[in-house]
Structure 1
Amino acid sequence: MRRTTSPFSLVLLGLGTFLLVLAPLLAWYVEPRAAVNPIDIDTTAVYTGKGSVFDTDRIETVPDRKITVTQRVRGNVEDSERSGKTVWDVTTTVDTDKSLPAADPHDALEFIPHRWVMDRKTTRPAHCCGEKPYIEGEAYLKFPFDVRKRSYQWWDNSLGDTIVLRYRGTEKVQGYTGYRFTGSVPPTRTGTRMVPGSIVDQPKRPQVLAEEWYSNHGFELVVDQATGRVLYAQTGPRRTLRAPGGKKDAAVLLDSRKISFTTETQKEAVRQAERDSGQLRLIGVTLPIGAAVAGFVLAVLGGVLVARGRKEPEQPTPSETPDTPQPTLTM
Structure 2
Amino acid sequence: MRESATTGARSTPVDASAAAPVTASPLSLVLLGLGVFLLVLAPMLAWYVEPRAKVTPVDVDVTTVFTGTGSYFDTEALKTRERQKITITRHVLGDVTASEESGRAVWDVSTTVDTPKTLALKDPRKAFQWTTERWVTDRRSNAPVHCCEEAPSRFDGDAYLKFPFDLQKKSYRWWDNTLGAAVPLRFAGTKRIQGYEGYRFTGTVGPTRTGSRQVPGRLVGRPRQGQIQAEEWYANSGIELVVERRTGRIINASISPRKTLRAPGAGRDAVTLLDGRSLEFTPATQRAQVELARADSDKLALVGETLPVGAAGAGGALALIGVVLVVLGRRPIGRP
Normalising by structure 1, we get a TM-score of: 0.93
Structure 1 residue 231 displacement after superposition: 0.8
Q: Residues 33-67 of structure 1: CA distance to partner in whole angstroms, max 9, x if unpaired?
A: 10110111000000000011000111111110100
Q: For the structure 1 residues 73 and 221, does the alpha-carbon distance in structure 2 shift closer, same or farther, using more than 3 Å as the test?
A: same
Provide, for residues 136-187 of structure 1, a one-character-per-residue CA deviation record: whole Å limited to 9, x for no partner. 0000011101010000011001100001000000110000010000000000
Residue identity matched to 1:298 = L
Matched, 1:111 2:130: yes
1:105 partner letter: P
Distance 1:304 1:228 in 2: 46
Counterpart contact for 2:231–2:261, Cα < 8 Å: yes
1:258 maps to amino acid: S
Residue of structure 2 in register with 1:239 after alignment: 259
8 Å CA contact 2:23–2:333 kept in 1: the answer is no
* Post-superposition CA distance 1:174-225 (Å, at most 9, x none): 0001000000000000001111112111122221111100000110011100
Q: Partners in 2 of 1:188 and 1:39 — Cα distance?
A: 34
Aligned to 2:184, the other structure's residue is in SS state: strand
Distance 1:103 1:60 in 2: 24
Whether 1:5 aligns to 2:24 is: yes
* Preserved contact between residue 19 and residue 291 of structure 1 (Cα < 8 Å): yes
1:78 CA drift (Å):
1.1
Q: Indicate which of 151, 155, 159 corresponds to 1:135.
A: 155
Root mean square deviation, CA, Å: 1.3
Map residues 108-187 of structure 1 onto 2, 5 A cutoff.
108-133=127-152, 134-187=154-207
Aligned to 1:248: 268
The partner residue of 2:49 within 7, 10, 30 is: 30
Pairing partner for 2:309 from 269, 283, 289 = 289
Q: Which runs of 5+ in 2 are unaligned?
A: 1-16
| C-alpha contact (below 8 Å) 1:67/1:96 kept by paired residues | yes
Measured in 2, the distance between the counterparts of 1:86 and 1:153 equals 19
Letter in 2 for 1:27: A
The one-letter amino acid of 2:296's match is: D
Extract structure 1 runs of 4+ deviating beyond 4 A. Answer: 312-315
SS at match of 2:48: helix
Q: How far apart, in 2, do the equivalents of 1:182 and 1:103 lie?
A: 32
Quote the Cα distance in structure 2 between the aligned partners of 1:44 and 1:188: 29
Following superposition, the deviation at residue 256 of structure 1 comes to 2.0
Question: TM-score normalized by structure 2?
Answer: 0.91
For the residues of structure 1 that align with 2:51 and 2:333, how far apart are their CA atoms? Answer: 55
Displacement of 1:307: 2.2
Contact 2:41 2:311 in 1 (8 A): yes
Distance 1:116 1:314, change over 3 A: closer
Contact 1:79 1:129 survives alignment (8 Å): yes
Q: Is the 8 A contact 1:116 1:135 kept in 2?
A: no
Percent of aligned positions with the same letter in both sequences?
56
